[in-house]
Amino acid sequence: MTTIFYAEPELVVALNSKIVFVNPNDLQIFKEVFIPEDLTEHGLKPFTLEENHDEVEKTDEKNSKNQPTESESKEKVNIQHVSLSPNGQLLAVTTSGQKALLLYQCRLEHAKLVSVRSLARISSALTFASDSSKLLVTDKTGDCYEYDCINMSSVPRLLLGHLSIVYDVLWTADQKFIITCDRDEKIRITNYPKTYEIHGYCLGHTEFVSGLALLSHDALVSVSGDKSLRLWDYKNCKEQAKIDLPAPGLKISHRKLSENSHQVAVLLYQPNESVAIYNINRTETSGWNISEHVVLNFPEMCISNLCFAKDRLYLAAIVDNHLQLSVANLPESSPVPDNWLDMLQEQFQDDIWTPEDVSARFKKHFDNVSDYLERKRKRIEETQK
C-alpha cells in the first residue's frame, strides 16, 4: 500500500518499507525512514489488551490466539498506514506481515524508533488526537483501539467496534467525538471518552463509505461506493447536501480555501477520468452547496492515492508495477520544479507494487427469491385452471 500526504512543509511518501520526507519547493529530501526487517528484534511481543470494566472480558485463550506464529514472524514487513502527529514530533506507522504499530520520534534530519507495539489484526486506518497524546488504530474486523503516545509501555484499549471493516477514522479537534465509516454504508459518531455511548449515525449511503473529511467543527464530508459525495451536520446526524459522482468514490483529500470555502479531490473507481475536484461553499442564505470544479483524465495510470499540498494536487499511481508520482494540472496550481518528481521516484525504483483489488469492497447481491416466487406463481395458476 502506498501513502502520500502533506504536513507543512513536507510531502511524505511511503511504500513497502521506506518513508521519504521531501520539501516540494526546494527539492530537499529532509529524511528517509526504513522499517526494520524483523520487528521481533526490536521488542515486538504478542498482542495484549488493557482490561477494565468498560471492556469485554479478556481471557488467556483470546490473547493466545493473537500470538504470531513462527511463519507470521518471518513474513516481510510492509507499511500499511502512516500518520504524522499534529505537533510534528511523532511518526506513526502500521505494518503488515508482522502486525505492529511503530512510533518514531522525529528530528529535523532523522527519525528514531522509540516504540514497537503489536496489533491485533492488520490496520485499516489511523489518526492522532489533536494534542498528539493518543492514537487511534482501526482494523479490518471493525475494532478501534487507542494507543497512548506518552506512556509508550502501556497496552492498547479497545474503544469501539463495527461489524465490518472500517475504512476511515477521524477524531474531532475537541476530542469529543470519534467518527468512523465502514463497508456497511454507515458513518458512526461515537462519544469520547465514553465510547460505549453512540452519539448517532449519519445514514443515507447505499454502498461502502470509503473516506471522510472534516470541513469545520460541525461539517463532515463523505464519499462512497454508491457514486455520491455527501455533506453532513454530524452533530445532528443530518445530511446537508449531496452531489452525484461519475463513478464510485475511493479516497478523498480536502483543503480549506477560506472560512466558508473548501475544495475536495475524490479518487474515482474508473479508468482514465479517475480524479474529480469539487468546490464546497457555505452562505448565510442557502447554507452548504457542492459544485463540480473539474474532472481529470490520467490515461494508462492506475492511481491509488492523492493529496493536496497547498495549491497542488499530488497523485501516487502504479505504472508497470512501480510507483509513479504526478501533479494534477489545475489552473490555480503553481508551477512544479523541473525533474523533482523523477528524483523522488528514484527513491522507490527498486520497489515492486501491485494495486489493491478494490472490487472486493462491493457487496455481492444474490437474488434467491425470484425463482421461488416464479414457481409459486405457476402453482397458483395451475390450481386455478
Which among 4, 99, 17 has a CA at the least distance from the CA of 353? 17
Q: In DSSP terms, which residues pair with 92 in a beta bridge?
A: 83, 103
Q: Which structural domains are found in the chain, ordered by start?
A: 2-384 (2.130.10.10)
> Do 318 and 353 touch, CB atoms closer than 8 A?
yes
Q: Which amino acid is at 237?
A: C
pLDDT of residue 63: 45
pLDDT score at 72: 52
Assessment of whether the complete model's pTM goes beyond 0.85? yes
Q: What is the mean pLDDT of each run of 10 residues along the chain (385 residues)?
A: 88 94 80 93 88 43 49 76 96 95 91 95 96 96 97 94 96 97 97 97 97 95 97 96 96 94 96 94 89 91 93 92 90 79 88 86 75 82 80
Cα separation, 54 vs 264, whole angstroms: 38
Task: Tell which residue, 126, 105, 123, has the closest CA to residue 114.
Answer: 105
- Provide the sign of the torsion angle of the four alpha carbons 264, 124, 160, 208, taken in this order: positive
The cell numbers describing 287, all together, are 447554507
Residue 24, pLDDT score:
80
pLDDT at 368: 66
